């Protein structure tokens, strides 16, 4: 196959565009896609301080690499989840990337800061492992951004992530979650602005970018994620995509163009500071503090009528209902 | 031909002398869900692989929550 741009030997095929690119052109094409997404959705201003949630995986490191290349003021935030050797390797990989780029990295260890790790929370809490992991990430990312005075939190969610999430929410007609599945969530009520600059790019493309840029990322999957509901949705989408290239992009990007306005909400929940941590919540205590208390065996007031779901939604940058993560690793 | 598979890591011996798409078909792998690396270089499913080549088939699908 020949590169669409230079007719050189192609190394990446993007079937939904019926195109292929060589090792020199593909990173430029990828970067241009990110730049377009940032511009179209007004994700970032040149003077913004951007906190990037980094895991050591291909998506977050590719995102960080692109934003550094585009000249943004970025800091990485790595959250130590306490998942044994997997977390150790993820931390070391992230730190090595930051060191190689001369980039700033903030490390928060869940056990040191909050007294529990994810495997323990999965065993002792009422949420599945993936659900409490997602809740913890969203909480820590937002808190770190507020405390550090950052303007934006950027995450490496890609097209496959977004299409799978939209599929799951649509299958259950979770209309309020569907309404919030935007690549940009504006800052509100103690919530920092959240952006997903990779939402137009597939996992194959982010992996290829990371490989071609020489980024040493963690290839291994989280050992607790087997059976994850989102993985099953991805497999379903990939089966359809294999027969009809472009379906994933049409589904999610078509939703952004034509579907999202049909689901827009006219009212938002009233939020207040959590009595324990001062992060925003609709009840007396936020979902994270209640989960933490449950895992640590501490007493905390019973949840309110919404059982924290509204709070979880307000804090979510992924907007997939917690129950949809299933009982992976529990 | 040696083929390295990931998650979990393992190695298998398969026949070369064909295009990579045919190798992936034999493995039951959707080409859109993996990077294929031949002797350290990224390749497409249309590229040819010889008996003496070493392939890595690296999954790109991740299922984390955030």
Mean pLDDT over residues A94-101, rounded? 98
Banded pLDDT at A330 (limits 50, 70, 90):
very low
- Optimal mutation site among A16, A86, A204, interface B, most CBs of chain B within 10 A: A204
* Residues on chain A touching B66 (C-beta within 8 angstroms): 53, 133-134, 137-138, 141, 155, 317-318
Look at residue A324 in the predicted model and tell me its pLDDT. 41
Closest CA of chain B from A134, distance in Å:
5
Any CB–CB contact under 8 A between B66 and chain A?
yes
User: What was the pLDDT predicted at A267?
Assistant: 67
Q: Which residues of A touch B57 (CB under 8 A)?
A: none
Structure tokens at A63: 């995102």
Chain A: closest CA distance from residue B25 (Å) = 13
Q: 3-class SS at A106?
A: strand
Say if the Cβ atoms of B60 and A58 lie within 8 Å: yes
Give the β-pairing of B2-5 and B34-38. unpaired
Domains of chain A: 26-269 (3.40.50.620)
| Interchain contact, B45 vs A59, CB within 8 Å | no
Contacts of A328 in chain B (CB under 8 A): 63
Closest residue on chain A to B33 (Cα): A204
Q: At what angle do helices A129-148 and A287-296 cross, to 10 degrees?
A: 120
Half-sphere exposure of A282 (CA within 13 A, CB side): 16
Quote the CA–CA distance of A272 and A145 in Å, as a whole number.
18
pLDDT tens digit sequence for A244-259: 999 999 999 999 999 9
Q: What mean pLDDT value characterizes chain B?
A: 92
* Nearest-by-Cβ selection for A138 from B30, B33, B66: B66
- Name the nearest CA neighbour of B65 among A117, A92, A323, A76: A323
pLDDT of residue A218: 96
Nearest chain A CA: its distance from B58 CA (Å) = 8
Q: Contacts of residue A231 in chain B, CB cutoff 8 Å? A: 61, 63
CA distance B11 to chain A (A): 16
Chain B closest-CA separation from residue A169 CA (Å): 15
Which residue of A58, A133, A204 is in closest CB contact with B65?
A133
List of residues 6+ apart from A216 with CB closer than 8 A: A93, A96, A97
Q: What is the pTM of this model?
A: 0.91
Q: Does B39 touch chain A (CB under 8 A)?
A: no
Count of residues in chain A: 330
Q: Can you tell me the mean pLDDT for A92-108?
A: 98
Q: pLDDT digit string (tens) for A129-145?
A: 999 999 999 999 999 99
Q: Is B65 on the interface with A (CB under 8 A)?
A: yes
């Amino acid at each position: 196959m020949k590169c669409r741009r230079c007719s050189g030997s192609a190394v990446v095929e993007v079937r939904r565009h019926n195109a292929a690119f060589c090792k020199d052109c593909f990173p430029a094409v990828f970067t241009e896609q990110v730049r377009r997404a940032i511009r179209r959705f007004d994700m970032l201003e040149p003077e913004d301080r951007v906190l990037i949630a980094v895991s050591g995986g291909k998506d977050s490191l590719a995102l960080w690499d692109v934003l550094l290349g585009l000249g943004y003021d970025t800091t990485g935030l790595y959250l130590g989840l306490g998942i044994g050797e997997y977390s150790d390797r993820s931390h070391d990989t992230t730190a090595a990337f930051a060191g190689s780029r001369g980039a700033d990295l903030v490390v928060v260890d869940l056990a040191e800061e909050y007294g529990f790790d994810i495997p323990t929370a999965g065993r002792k809490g009422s949420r599945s492992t993936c659900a409490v992991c997602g809740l913890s990430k969203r909480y820590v990312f937002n808190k770190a951004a507020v405390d550090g005075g950052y303007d934006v939190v950027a995450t490496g969610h890609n097209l496959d992530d977004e299409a799978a999430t939209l599929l799951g929410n649509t299958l259950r007609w979770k209309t309020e979650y569907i309404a919030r599945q935007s690549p940009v969530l504006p800052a509100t009520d103690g919530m920092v602005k959240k952006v997903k600059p990779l939402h137009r790019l597939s996992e194959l493309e982010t992996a290829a970018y990371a490989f071609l840029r020489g980024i040493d990322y963690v290839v291994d999957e989280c050992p607790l994620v087997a059976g994850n509901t989102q993985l099953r949705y991805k497999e379903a989408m990939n089966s359809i995509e294999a027969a009809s290239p472009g379906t994933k992009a049409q589904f999610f990007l078509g939703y952004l163009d034509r579907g999202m306005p049909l689901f827009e909400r006219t009212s938002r929940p009233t939020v207040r500071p959590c009595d324990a941590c001062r992060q925003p919540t609709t009840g007396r205590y936020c979902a994270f503090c209640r989960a933490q208390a449950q895992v640590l065996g501490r007493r905390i007031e019973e949840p309110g009528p919404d059982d924290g779901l509204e709070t979880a939604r307000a804090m979510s940058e992924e907007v997939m209902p917690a129950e949809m993560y299933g009982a992976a690793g529990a | 031909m040696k083929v390295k598979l990931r998650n979990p890591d393992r190695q298998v011996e398969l026949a070369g002398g064909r295009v990579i798409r045919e190798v992936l078909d034999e493995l039951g792998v959707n080409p859109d869900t993996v990077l294929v690396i031949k002797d350290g270089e990224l390749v497409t499913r249309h590229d040819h692989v010889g008996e003496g080549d070493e392939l890595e088939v690296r999954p790109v699908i991740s299922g984390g929550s955030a």
